[in-house]
Amino acid sequence: MLDVTDLQLTRGGRLLCDGFDLQLRAGEALLVEGANGAGKSTLLRSLAGLQPLHAQRLCWNGLQGRAAREALAQELCFLGHRDGLHEALTAMENLDHALRLGGEAQPAGRIAQALRDAGLQAVAQAPLRRLSQGQRRRVGLARLALTRRRLWLLDEPLAALDEAARQDFNDRLAQHLRQGGMALLSTHDPWPTAPSMPRLRLPGAQPAAA
């Protein structure tokens, strides 16, 4: 379980959001909402360890403080606007790199299957810079499914996806949650399962001090 108390969001030295709590249990997803600039990406990036996280307390599966942050870093997968992919590498090489970093020695079979499932066989050998936005996002989502991390932190996961890919992602998310995974997601789009997903609304940036 993820339990963060008195979380404060800052970006570039500016306070965005003050003093809110966040909890996620096994099998739960939370939709992060808010206007442009409210701090949705900042929240996800902070939890992913890409920016400082200011909170009174952070617990992860019974651990606290530094031990919790270190364990969390090993068990999360972050998908940001740039999908965490290398532009010069092919889709296959990107996935291979991600899985080998995670300690998998022979990932080729699983990667080939994931590329087929994502409808990416035709572009699997092209450098990422030659792929469309939607194709890149499909590679990013394939990485997400392949790395089997417990906590998914997803910034606009539906962006640039066509209807079939959205449905596919939604099915994967449902499976992830059934298996005890957790997910924190931001989106501007209507979510296919929106009625059943709890929401966290960020109030927006605080006015700058005079």
Ligand X SMILES: Nc1ncnc2c1ncn2[C@@H]1O[C@H](COP(=O)(O)OP(=O)(O)OP(=O)(O)O)[C@@H](O)[C@H]1O
Question: Residues 17, 24, 42, 118: which binds ligand X (CB under 6 A)?
Answer: 42
Should residue 52 be labelled a site residue for ligand X when binding is judged by CB under 6 A?
A: no
Spell out a b/e string for 81-104, using b for 16 or more CB atoms within 10 Å of the CB, else e: eebbbeeeebbbbbbbebbeeeeb
Give the footprint of ligand X on residues 4-23 (CB under 6 A): 11-12, 16
**CA atoms 29, 195, 178, 135: torsion sign:** negative
Should residue 185 be labelled a site residue for ligand X when binding is judged by CB under 6 A?
A: no
Residue nearest to ligand X (CB): 12
Should residue 207 be labelled a site residue for ligand X when binding is judged by CB under 6 A?
A: no
**CA atoms 143, 118, 185, 193: torsion sign:** negative
Should residue 200 be labelled a site residue for ligand X when binding is judged by CB under 6 A?
A: no
Q: How many CB atoms lie within 10 A of CB 106?
A: 8
Should residue 166 be labelled a site residue for ligand X when binding is judged by CB under 6 A?
A: no
Number of residues counted as binding ligand X (CB under 6 A)? 12
| Residue pointed to by tokens 């979380």 | 7
Q: Going by C-beta distance under 8 Å and a sequence separation of 6 or more, which residues neighbour residue 131?
A: 91, 123, 139
Give the footprint of ligand X on residues 22-41 (CB under 6 A): 34, 36-41
Should residue 69 be labelled a site residue for ligand X when binding is judged by CB under 6 A?
A: no
Q: What is the largest CA-CA distance in the chain?
A: 59
Should residue 126 be labelled a site residue for ligand X when binding is judged by CB under 6 A?
A: no
Nearer to ligand X by C-beta: 41 or 90?
Answer: 41
The contact set with ligand X (CB under 6 A) reads 11-12, 16, 34, 36-42, 205
